[in-house]
């Protein structure tokens, strides 16, 4: 991971810090907000993470973004106003030209009406703010700096609260009309489980952390034993985070194991279908669950894809994101750089 020592960054003279041309990047997720400050090469000079407001509306979420960005800038020995610009990677319907975000189901209370995130955050920070899709910017970061560097085409799959996707085709990020790469909303079971998007049978309805949590609650109410919610209470969390799922798996919790096994099977079918359509060279697995569960689960997903691959002799590898959970924030910062806009 490209990360410098924040204390060393803080010892640099103010003039040196300004000369570095630093950018802020924010990854807005369903359970956490991650912010970084990077230089032009993408080296992380400071970072901060805090929980996403569980009950917050758009204005509360933007305030939390601002606070997290301030913390990352402080770790780099800067203030947000010293940044050249700020990028935000967010789920939902991103309108880059208008700087608005709408149809967000997994953040705070969620909102459908487009909200001027770029304008609101820009007014608080005093610097220009640009929005991008959270997974698309993370995949762009992995393509430029991480696991995607050896390839000209790849599919990024971000396995966390939901299941997001992003594409690079022949060296060019492919966004379609703004929603390309939404692999989590490929139908893997017609008429199947209800997804957070309101439709049935989406991959995200089986593999998204929020959907698995709803299924776990339902099982617990019916009397099925599980350590998931005990671990959640012990950690003082309001949601089943990736670390809780990982711990439950290590304890061989039957419900957690069944839900994750089902998620892997559905990921195998959905991702193989995407590969059959696009024939990309590699899959990069990121997101909270993807990075937390790591190479072992990347191998399991690769194996689950194999029965469905049309040309199995050239099935693409599945790599874990090299930039880890900072992929999205770094990608958002790169988005704010002049050559990335």
Same domain (yes/no): 154, 118:
no
pLDDT of residue 9: 39
Quote the number of domains for the chain. 2
The CATH number of the domain holding residue 69 is 3.30.420.40
Q: Domain check: are 281 and 335 in the same one?
A: no
Same domain, 259 and 215: yes
Residue 243 lies in a domain: yes
Q: What is the pLDDT of residue 5?
A: 41
Q: What is the mean pLDDT of the chain?
A: 90
pLDDT of residue 284: 97
The CA distance from 257 to 137, in Å, is 31
Query: What mean pLDDT do residues 259-272 have?
Result: 98
Q: Does 305 lie in the same domain as 164?
A: yes
Q: 94 and 23 in one domain?
A: yes
What's the pLDDT tens digit per position in 31-60?
A: 889 999 999 889 999 999 999 988 878 999
CA dihedral 250, 243, 205, 269 (to 10 degrees): -60
- Predicted local distance difference test score (pLDDT) of residue 247: 97
Using pLDDT thresholds of 50, 70 and 90, give the confidence band for residue 234: very high
Torsions phi, psi of 51, nearest 5? -65, 145
- CA distances (Å), 77 to each of 9, 73, 248, 316, 327, in order? 6, 6, 38, 42, 22
Q: Are 157 and 181 in contact (CB under 8 A)?
A: no
Residues 101 and 249 in one domain: no
Confidence band of 17 (pLDDT split at 50, 70, 90): very low
Decide if 143 is inside a domain. no
What does the pLDDT average to over 272-297? 96
Q: Is 26 a domain residue?
A: yes
C-beta separation of 139 from 166 below 8 A: yes
Decide if 130 contacts 336 (C-beta within 8 A): yes
Whether residue 285 sits in one domain with residue 156: yes
Q: Which are the contacts of 162, defined by CB distance < 8 A and separation ≥ 6?
A: 30, 91, 106, 184, 196, 204, 208, 209, 210
Over residues 323-335, mean pLDDT: 94
Q: What number is the average pLDDT over the span 11-28?
A: 66
* Predicted pLDDT at 266: 98
Give the residue carrying structure tokens 């997903």.
Answer: 301
Residue 21 has pLDDT above 90, yes or no: no
Domain that holds residue 44: 6-138+326-340
Q: Are residues 278 and 331 in the same domain?
A: no
> Residue 182 pLDDT > 50, yes or no?
yes
Rounded Cα distance, 100 and 120, in Å: 10
Name the pairing type of β-strands 23-28 and 85-90.
parallel
What's the pLDDT score for residue 20? 54
Q: What is the pLDDT of residue 179?
A: 77
- d(Cα 195, Cα 192) in Å, to the nearest integer? 9
Interval 241-262: pLDDT, tens: 999 999 999 999 999 999 999 9
Task: Give the mean pLDDT of 178-188.
Answer: 90
Adjacency order of strands within the sheet including 129-133: 44-51, 32-38, 23-28, 85-90, 129-133
The secondary structure element, H or E, covering residue 154 is strand 154-159
pLDDT tens digits along 123-181: 999 999 999 988 999 999 999 999 999 999 999 999 998 999 999 999 999 988 777 88
What local confidence, expressed as pLDDT, does residue 14 receive? Answer: 41
- Residue 244's pLDDT is 97
| Tens-digit pLDDT profile for residues 204-224 | 999 999 999 999 999 999 999
């Amino acid at each position: 991971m490209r990360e410098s020592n924040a204390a060393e960054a803080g010892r640099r003279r103010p003039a040196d810090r300004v000369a570095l041309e630093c950018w802020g990047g924010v990854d807005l997720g369903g359970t956490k907000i991650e912010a970084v400050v990077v230089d032009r090469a993408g080296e992380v000079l400071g970072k901060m993470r805090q929980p996403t407001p569980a009950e917050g509306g758009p204005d509360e979420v933007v305030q939390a973004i601002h606070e997290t960005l301030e913390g990352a800038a402080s770790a780099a020995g800067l203030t947000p106003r010293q940044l050249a610009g700020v990028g935000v990677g967010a789920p939902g319907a991103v309108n880059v030209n208008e700087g608005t975000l709408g149809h967000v189901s997994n953040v705070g209370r969620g909102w459908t009406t487009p909200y001027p995130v770029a304008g609101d955050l820009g007014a608080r920070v005093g610097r220009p703010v640009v929005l991008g899709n959270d997974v698309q910017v993370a995949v762009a970061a992995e393509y430029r700096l991480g696991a995607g560097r050896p390839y000209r085409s790849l599919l990024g799959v971000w396995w966390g609260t939901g299941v997001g996707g992003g594409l690079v085709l022949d060296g060019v990020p492919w966004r379609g009309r703004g929603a390309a790469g939404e692999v989590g909303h490929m139908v893997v079971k017609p008429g199947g489980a209800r997804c957070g998007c309101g439709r049935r049978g989406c991959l995200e309805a089986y593999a998204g952390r929020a959907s698995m949590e709803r299924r776990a609650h339902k099982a617990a109410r019916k009397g099925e034993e599980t350590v998931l919610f005990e671990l959640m209470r012990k950690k003082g969390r309001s949601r089943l985070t990736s670390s809780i799922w990982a711990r439950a798996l290590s304890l061989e919790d039957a419900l957690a194991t069944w839900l994750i096994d089902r998620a892997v099977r559905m990921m195998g079918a959905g991702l193989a279908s995407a590969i059959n359509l696009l024939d990309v060279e590699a899959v990069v697995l990121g997101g909270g669950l993807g990075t937390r569960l790591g190479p072992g689960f990347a191998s399991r997903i690769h194996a689950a894809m194999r029965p469905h691959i049309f040309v199995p002799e050239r099935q693409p590898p599945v790599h874990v994101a090299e930039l880890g959970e900072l992929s999205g924030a770094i990608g958002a910062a790169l988005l704010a750089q002049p050559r990335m806009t």
